[in-house]
Amino acid sequence: MTLRDRLEWLLRMSLLVFVLGAAAFLSAVTAIRFAIHGRQVAMPSLVGKSASEAKEILNSKNLDMKIDDRVYSEMPENEVVRQSPPAGEEMKTGQDGHVVLSLGAQTIPVPALSSESVRQAEIQLIQDGLQLGEVSTCYLPGTLADNVAAQDPPAGDQAAAPRVDLLVSQGDRPEAYIMPTLLGLNEVDAGRILDQAGLHVAQINYGQAPQAEKGAVVQQSPAAGSRIEGDVAVSLVVAE
C-alpha cells in the first residue's frame, strides 16, 4: 500500500468515525429531549371540582395535591376555588398542584376587637367560629400595651377567610439613647457618665490589656454610637 493509499484510507476512516460520532450525539440529544418531555404533563383544570375529584385527576397524571388554604366563597364546601399553576401549564410528574378549597358561604360577621387584649380577642374569635390570624405589633403613643389597635377584616365585614389579622399596640415607645464612648476612661468616670445618661452597668470584667492604663475601659457593649433603650444593660471590660 502506497503512502497515498494509506492517507486516503485514514481520511475515510476519520470521516466515518466523525459521522458515527455525530449520529450518536444527535441520538443522545433526541433521547434526552424525549425523556424530559415525557416527564411533563399539562396541569388540569380543577376549579369547581371537589377536593376528592381534584386529587383523583391529579393522581391520574402522576401529580400530587397540596391544599394551600381554605376560604369562604359562594362555592359549595370543599370545592376548589383557586389553583396554582393555572390549567394548561406544563408540570413535571411528581410535582404538587396547589389548591384553595371553599368553606362555603360566610354568614358570621367579624366581631369588633379594638381595645381588647390579644387573649380576649382570640377567645372572641373562637366563640364566633373564627381564628386568630397574623398578629403584628408596633409602638402607638397614648395606647395600652397588648391591646388591639386595628383588625383586618374590619368589624362587621363578612370575612373572606376564617382568620382575622390584628395590629397590636406595644404602648409608648421607650426612651432611647445614643451609647456614649467609654473607651479609655477609668471605671469611675465611665460609671458616672452612664448614670447621667440614665443607663446602668450590668457587668464589669477585668482583663489583661498591656497597652492601656490600669483601671481604664478597654471594651464596651453596646458599642459607642449605638441607639439603645434605657433598659439596656451595659457591659465593660477594664484593664487590670
pLDDT in tens, 10-67: 677 777 777 677 777 776 665 565 455 558 999 999 999 999 999 999 999 999 999 9
Least confident segment among 8-12, 153-157, 164-168:
8-12
In a domain, 111, yes or no: no
* Residue 225 domain boundaries: 176-239
Please check whether residues 192 and 228 belong to one and the same domain.
yes
CA nearest 128: which of 168, 167, 169, 159?
Answer: 159
Same domain, 32 and 45: no
Q: Residue 124 maps to which CATH number?
A: 3.30.10.20
Could you please report the per-residue DSSP string of 78-141? TBEEEEESPTT-EEETTPEEEEEEE-----PBPPP-TT-BHHHHHHHHHHTT-EEEEEEEE--T
107 lies in a domain?
no
Average pLDDT over residues 198-219: 87
Q: Are residues 21 and 75 in the same domain?
A: no
In a domain, 139, yes or no: yes
Question: 102, 132, 147: which is the final residue of a domain?
Answer: 102
If asked whether residues 52 and 90 sit together in one domain, one would say: yes
Residues 15, 30: one domain? yes
Q: How confident is the model at residue 166 (pLDDT cuts 50, 70, 90)?
A: very high
Share of the chain above pLDDT 90, in %: 48
Query: Quick one: DSSP state of residue 147?
Result: B
- Considering the domain architecture, whether residues 55 and 8 belong to the same structural domain is answered as no
Look at the chain and report how many structural domains it folds into.
Answer: 4
For the segment 163-171, the average pLDDT, to the nearest whole number, is 93
pLDDT for position 51: 95
